Amino acid sequence: MKKLGSVLLISVLGLALFTGCSAKGTDEKTIVVGASPAPHAEILAIASDVLKEDGYTLEIKEFTDYVQPNLTLQNKELDANFFQHLPYLEDFNVKNNTKLVSAGVVHYEPLGLYPGKIKTLDAIASGATIAIPNDTTNEARALLLLETIGLIKVDPNAGLEATPKDVIENPKNIVFKELEAAQLARSLPDVDLAVINGNYAIEAGLNAGTDAIAKEEKDSLAAQTYANIVAVRAGDEKSEKTLALMKALQSEKVISFIESNYQGAVVPMS
């Protein structure tokens, strides 16, 4: 009787293992990706059509924070995520002991210089006030944008950690008003100009491609550095699922959607 019980137990365990392998096998053509609602989930929705042509089903899980998508990916509940740039991911890995890597870039969301009290660059007078983001990453990007259009010169040693203290030439004596990125669009009536992040500009009904009087270009240091990536677990960069996902996200169909739908507020990197 004990022997029969052992045989039955072994049979049940074998069936469970077989069932598990079968379930995993049938899921090989489903790709689960975590993403922020806009523009990432919107872009993925278009990519899903391309993936269908290659026999894959795309499942999109939306997140409204920047922590859970990485933790969920690390825990193997996702195959990939799409919401962040590489500097953020690298910092997250250090702080959270995760082992996530970039599978490739998809797009970037340019910072733009938007008109407030004045409407053109020619109208900038001595002592003009320009609002800029006060967080390290975006403040440096804002200053580099202003340098690109010739308003200031930034200490080259400061790089992407530059602050107003690193401005070494300021011929128009521009006053920098440092604000939280989310407050910049609302500040426009009170300042001469404001440098606004792409996502916050979109929320305010602004578009870097049509409303900004200057914006980060595709070949800028900021665009190259802060392009949005697809993240995967280390070792999965060349998996079949990852390669299929990147192929879809970098396809002509997705590029065309980004260009026509966002009109410069989101720019494909392919």
Confidence (pTM): 0.72
- Residue where one domain finishes, among candidates 196, 216, 236: 216
Could you give the CA distance from residue 16 to residue 44 in angstroms, rounded to a whole number?
A: 34
pLDDT per position as a tens digit, 252-261: 999 999 999 9
Say if residue 259 is in the same domain as residue 181: no
Residue 84, number of CB atoms within 10 A of its CB: 22
Asked, for residue 20, whether it belongs to a domain, the answer is no
> Would the pLDDT of 14 be above 70?
no
pLDDT per position as a tens digit, 240-252: 999 999 999 999 9
Can you give the residue range of the structural domain that contains 198? 112-216
Say if residue 203 is in the same domain as residue 116: yes
Asked, for residue 12, whether it belongs to a domain, the answer is no
- Residue where one domain finishes, among candidates 216, 238, 256: 216
CA atoms within 13 A on the CB side of 85: 14
